A and B are shown apart, each in its own frame.
Chain A
Amino acid sequence: MSRLVTGTRLRLSELVRQPLTLSLLLVLPPVVIEMYGVAVESFPQLPTLSADPATVGRMTGALFAVAFLAGLVGLFQVISARNGDERAAIAGFPRWVMLLTRLVTMFVVALVGAGVAFAVFNYRVAVAAPGLAFGVLVLAALVYGLLGVIVGTLLPRELEGSIVLVFLADMDNALSSGLFPIEASASLPVVGDVGVTDFVPLFHPHELFTAAVLDGDLAVEHLVPTVFWVLALLVVAFVAYDRVTGEQGTGFLTGVAS
């Protein structure tokens, strides 16, 4: 436990010593939320929208601003510390503890980012269940934070990892935001009631968030898949990290590619 606490404290110290980065990461999400609200106001009131365009815009903006922040933190945490973690492992730090410190650090940053973003969001939108809505934001951050860690583990290069994460988030935003009339049972092959949007990481958190903000309800049918996403990504993160860092620290994809 002390190793986990020590490791997390030191990771957070590293982040705090980049005041420009930290301040921008606290300022950017609220800016994104507001810009989304203004931008989506220019769209017509489509029947698929759950609320007025400005509110839909701010909800989408809040979710993605917070989630992608956590995703980037997870990605860069893992990539930038690769060599240091390798050495710490040789010195006796268990690898799973190191990964855990990265995850906890990512979570703490996401929590702070979510708090700041939610404060702005709550000021601009009448939120029916603030506690629930904030919790969903944190869940969304967890999903993308884990995605960021996985991408950073498998592709330990900042440019390539960023491209993958950015395009994942880009599609996610487009498909799950409700801004565009995407049909869940679109032309992709479906299995039972599973449609394309079920493979989009933030679709269910978006539905959870919408229900919490507009109705004050906990949409259980979307909570279960969200929790499943978190648990599944957690397992994948640990397995990937263990497999990749255990083999002389080379990312197997980039090792083959280069």
Chain B
Amino acid sequence: MTRIGTALRSGATELRRTPLLLALLVVAPAYVIYVFTLAAPEGPASVHVDGAVVQTTLPEAFPAFTTPMTAALLAGITGLFLMQTAASADARLGVAGYRAHQVVLARLGLLVGVAAVATAVSVGVMLTAFTPEHLAWFVLGTGLTALVYGMIGVLAGVALDRLPGVYLVLFGSMIDLFIFQNPLATDPPDAATFLPGHYPLQVVVEAGFTDSVALEPLGWTLAYLAVVTGLATLAFVRKLRVS
């Protein structure tokens, strides 16, 4: 455990010494949610959640569904690069005695930290315009969305070069979270339930606009997260070879 802790602390130290990245972790979500909230017109909105329809307003719906998407995008891009930038040095750490799973856990721990910061900032900005019915569940749902996409970013970083990886993370998250899973959509295709954002966004929307949050989508979210985390871990362990 001390090895993982040491590697995690070192990773956090490196991150702390990248002030531009830290600034972007705050500014980017703030910019998106704030501007999108400002640009929302007045008017009613019908939010579709698990077969039911909840009436709200556009100025409330916009920040609500933009928040998880923003956190997810940030975590996804970071996940894509986080594993790549120190891959060679991580491989050397492995040669020096670290087990592969220890290095990977430390890196994934860092990603959890980044997802947490992205979630906190996104929700913080959102709260200036919209207060969800159940804030804690909303934060959890947003955080889980960010984590799922963070792991997908890791997978993209291992499987693809950076350019197509960034492309895939952006459009994948936008098409999934911003369009397919958008609560304003009336008739999403059945296949959309298999996309990564379906269940975590269901948690978010229920937490935002309904009286209660069902545990089933949370369960499926955790299962999905476990699977992508497992895949990301395996992929990263394989990548931990100096080329």
Contacts and interface: CB of A to CB of B under 8 A. Distances in A.
Interface of A: 18, 20-21, 24-25, 28, 32, 35-36, 38-44, 57, 64-65, 68-69, 72-73, 76, 155, 157-160, 162-164, 166-167, 169-171, 173-175, 179-183, 186-188, 196, 253-254, 257-258
B62 A180 contact: yes
A182 B164 CA distance: 30
B75 to A, nearest CB: 11
B35 A253 contact: no
A171 B31 contact: yes
Given A167-B31, A167-B32, A181 B167 contact: no
B162 interface: yes
Interface stretch (B89-97, B179-187, B235-243): B179-187
B170 A68 contact: yes
A42 B189 contact: yes
29 contacts: A20-B160, A21-B164, A24-B160, A25-B163, A28-B168, A36-B175, A42-B180, A42-B186, A43-B179, A43-B186, A44-B186, A65-B171, A72-B167, A76-B163, A159-B21, A159-B78, A159-B85, A160-B24, A163-B24, A163-B74, A166-B77, A167-B32, A170-B73, A171-B35, A174-B32, A174-B36, A186-B39, A187-B39, A257-B20
A169 B174 CA distance: 10
B163 A258 contact: no
B166 interface: yes
Band of interface residues on B: 35 or more
Contacts of A182: 39-41
Given A171-B31, A181-B43, A196-B39, 9 more contacts: A24-B167, A35-B175, A39-B179, A40-B179, A42-B189, A174-B32, A174-B66, A182-B39, A253-B20
Contacts of A20: 160-161, 164
B223 interface: no
Contacts of B35: 171, 175, 188, 196
Nearest to A251: B20
Contacts of A41: 187, 189
Contacts of B70: 170
> Looking at A38, A39, A44, A158, which has the most chain B CB atoms within 10 Å of its CB?
A39
A254 B22 CA distance: 12
A20 B77 CA distance: 20
Interface in B116-171: 160-164, 166-171
Contacts of A24: 160, 164, 167-168
A254 B20 contact: yes
B58 A21 contact: no
B162 A188 contact: no
